[in-house]
Amino acid sequence: MNSEEKSRVEEQVTAAIAAHAMWKQHLRIAIQTGATDTPVETIRVDNQCVFGKWLYSDSISPRVKQSPEYQKVLKLHADFHKVAARVAELAISGRAAEAETLMKVNGEYAIASAQLTRAMMDWKKKVAAL
């Protein structure tokens, strides 16, 4: 991995950690209001957010895309979007209590978010050590 790609990975992962943390607030608002400005189907797919677009882009070398860290983040990122969409879907269909259950500390959303964040941090540390 060259220094430019290394820097890009570190920057994108740092930005993604912050952006995905903001989803918690976005989903809490959806639960409170019963509405979201992002369609559930857009939330569900993992290649529509800035990080997802970058993950699937050609700006990441095939070598990096074959790494275990990339593969793990790719999978956990997709899982995160599926759970986030489920929370949004429940919230806008008037099932706020069920959505809230997914958001709790040991809820499916909280677990998916924590796993993704941990994997992204591990990837960033691995890249920094190169």
List, for residues 43-76, the tens digit of each pLDDT value. Answer: 999 999 989 999 999 988 888 899 999 999 999 9
* DSSP designation for 1: -
* CB atoms near residue 89 (< 10 Å): 18
Least trusted range by pLDDT, from 81-85, 87-91, 111-115, 125-129: 125-129
Q: Which domains does the chain have, with CATH numbers?
A: 3-129 (1.20.120.30)
In contact, 84 and 25? CB cutoff 8 Å: no
- Residue 50, SS3? helix
Q: Two tokens at 108?
A: 């499916």
